[in-house]
Structure 1
Amino acid sequence: MSASTPTVLLIGTCDTKLDELIYVHDRLVSQHGIQCKLIDVGRNACAHSSIAITQADIFANSGLPAPSDLKALPRGELISTIIQHTIPLVATLHEKQEIHGAIGLGGSGGSSLCAEVMRAALPLGFPKLIVSTVAGGDVRAYVGETDVTMVHSVVDIAGLNDILCPILENAAGAIAGMAHAQHSRNAQSVPSPTTGMFRSSPGDKRIAITMFGVTTPAVTYARELLSAYSCTTYVFHATGAGGRALEKLAESRYWSGILDLTTTELADDLLGGVLSAGDRRLTAAAAARIPQVVSLGALDMANFGPMDTVPSHYKARNLFKHNPSMTLLRTSPEDCRTLGRQVGERLKNGDPGITEIWIPKRGVSALSVEGESFWDPEADKALFASVKSALHGSKVRVVEIDKDINDKEFVEGVVYRLVDMMGMSKVENQ
C-alpha cells in the first residue's frame, strides 16, 4: 500500500478485545484495501503483529510523565490516565495527515475512552465511529457536541459470533468509505490551522445561527437575506448538542459572527429538560470577542420526552404535546425572570460594539404569539424586564421591536445589524 491509500486508526483494549479488533483490522486491510493502525489502550500491554502503536508507544510519545504503575490504578483513574496520554498522540497523527478515519470498539468504559480521545483529538468533519454496547441507549455523554457515529453492537463485544461479525464488517465498511472521503479532502483542500476543518470557499465569513422548529421561519428568512453577502451560514438545531457545538467552535474563534436567535437551551438547563446545552451556553462568543446579535427564541419552553415522562411537579403547568416523543412546558413568569437574568449576566461583559440583544415583544416563538398555546404576556414581560435589569450599568445595547421573532421586519433588523457589526457589504451582481 502507498501514501495514496487511506489509513484508519483502530482504537481498543487489546487485553480484552483482541480477537474482535483483529477481525476489524483484517476486514479493513483485506476487504477494503485500507491501511490500519491498531492502537492498544488496554490496562495490560499486549504483543501482536497487528498492533501498530503499543501501550509503551502511547506513554513514550504523549509528552506527559508516564504512570509508575498503571496496573494498580482503579478503573476510572486508569481510563482517565490512558485518555490523557492518548489524546496528544492521536492529535499528532491527525495533524500530520497520517490517518483519515478512526474507529473504536468497546463496552461502557472502552466507549468512553474512545469517545473522549476522538472528541479531543479529532476535529468536526473527521470520520469517527465507535461500535459500542451502549449505543442502543442515551449516547449524549459519548457523542457530546461532536460528530461521533455510534453503532450498537447488540451483543457484547466478547467473542465473535454470527450476530457480532456482520456488525463489525458493516462498521469496517463504513469507516473505510469515510476514510476515502477524508483522504480525498486532504488532497483537495487546505485545513484551517485552528480547527483542522476545511473552508467551504476561501475568504468566506462564517456565520452561526441557532434554530428551533418554532423559530424556523425566522432562520429561513435570515439565511435568505445573508445569501446576498460573501458568507457561509451554519444552522445549529438548539437541541443541546447544537448549542454545545456552537460554543466549542466559538472558543476557537471559528465564527466570524453569530446570529443567536434561539437561546431555548437555557430553559432546559434551568428546568431539567432533555435539551440542555449546559451552563456555559451563551458565554464563548463574548469571551472570544465575536460579533453577535442575540435574541430570546423559544425561551417560552423547556422540552421533555413523552407526556408520561414529564416530572410530576410539572403536571399542573401549561404543557403542549409537540409530537408523541416530545412534550413542551411553558416557562412561568418566575422561570422567565431567572432566564432573563442569565441572558443579561452572560452578555453584560461583552464588547458593546459587537454585542446586542434584540427582544421580539410580540412573541419569542411561533407558540407564544397571541392566540397560540404559549401566549403569556405576564411571562414575556418578566423575561424582557429581567434581561434589561441584568444589563443595568452595562453598555451592551438592548433593542426592543414590537414584532414577534418570526416577523420579517424583526429578522431584517437582526440580520442587518449583524452584517453592520461584521463590516460586510452585499456582493455585487448577486
Structure 2
Amino acid sequence: MDLSAADALAPIPFTSSPKPTLGVEIELQIVDPVTFNLKQGSVALLDRLGHDHPKVKQELTQSTIEVITGICDNVEGAVDDLRGSLREVFTAGDDLGLTFSGAGTHPFGQWRDQKIFPNDRYQALVDKIQWPARRLLIYGLHVHVGLSSGEKAIAVSNALASYLPHLLALSASSPFVDFEDTGLASTRSKIFEGMPTAGLPYRLANYGEFQQFMNTLVRAKAIESIREIWWDIRPHPGFGTLEIRICDTPSTLTELASLVALVQCLVVALGDRYENGAPLNILNPWILRENKWRAVRHGLDADVICDNDGDHAALRAQIPDLIARLEPVAERLGCLDELRGLHTTLDGGASYERQRRTFEQTKRLPDVVASIAAELRESVG
C-alpha cells in the first residue's frame, strides 16, 4: 500500500489475515550458461514470458529476475507455486541462452557493468540515493506471513528480531564479491545496510507508533511510500503480513522450503504467545546488532548472545533445539518435514560453505557459480 504526501497524516489500515498464509519472493541471478558471468537478460526474458506475468517480475538490475507466489496456505503450496513458475523461467531461459543461480551475491559480476531495468521507479531510486543504490547487486528471499492485526505484527516483529541470526546463518550464500572471498558468510547483508532505510528494524511500542513513524517519513519526504522501508523485518499493512527480508537467496528449493517453514513456525509460535498474553522475550537493540554481525561474519559457526545478561551459545547448538521446540507448531501447519530439513543444512553445509568448498577444489569462481546454478536447476526438476 502506498502512502502519498497528500494524506501523510491519515491512518494506515492493516488488512487482517485470519490465517498465517504465506507469500514468497525469490530474487535470482541471470547468468550466461557458458561463462557463468551475469547477463543482462531480464528484458528479453519478460518479453518472452510477458511483462504482465503475474509471478515473474523485473528487479533493479537487468541481471536479476524475481519470482513470486500467490497467497498460499502452507509451505508445500508455496514451493509448488514457485516450482511451476521457475520451470517456466528455465524453459524461456534455455531458449534465450540464459540460466539462473541462487545466491546472495555473484562472485565476480561487477555492479558498474549492470544496466538498470527501464522503469521510472528504479531510475528515480538510483537518482535519489546514488552510489549505495547503484551497487545493489544483491539477491534475497522475502517471506510474508499473514497476521490478524497491526498490533500483533509489531509485537511479533519485536520478538522475532532475536531469531534473525538463525535465519541469516542458515540462508547465508554470499561469501564472494568482486573476485574475492570477503571472509563473511553473508556479504549481501553488509551491502544492503548501505541503503538509508535498510537493516535491523526499529523497536516500536505498538502499531500506532509504526503509523506515526511512516507518516513522519512521508511528510518529511524521506520516503514516498512504505515500499521504501527495507528493514530485515517489516509489517506490510496492505497485504496484512509480516515480511521477513533477512535471508540471502537460497541455492535450492529444498533449502527455501526449510527456511520458509522456519519463518512461518516462528511467526505463528510468537503470535500464539502474544494472543495468550504470555511474555515475549525481547533482546536489547545493541545485542540484536551484535548478533546480526556475528551471523554475517561467521554464519553457522557464530556464537550469539542469548539473553540481556550476555549469556551466549553457538548457533550450531541452538538451531537443533529451536527445531525441536517448533515441531508441534510445524506439525499443526503441515510443514514438519520441511522444518526438519534444516538438519540437512546443518549437516551438509549452508550455501556459503558449499561455495567455499567448490572454490577450494577448483580455484575457479565460474565453477562456484556453475555448481550453485546446477543445484538450483536440479531442485526445480
* Larger helix proportion of the pair: 2
* TM-based fold match above 0.5: no
TM-score by length of 2: 0.26
Higher Cα Rg, which structure: 1
Higher relative contact order (CA 8 A, sep 6+): 2
TM-score by length of 1: 0.24
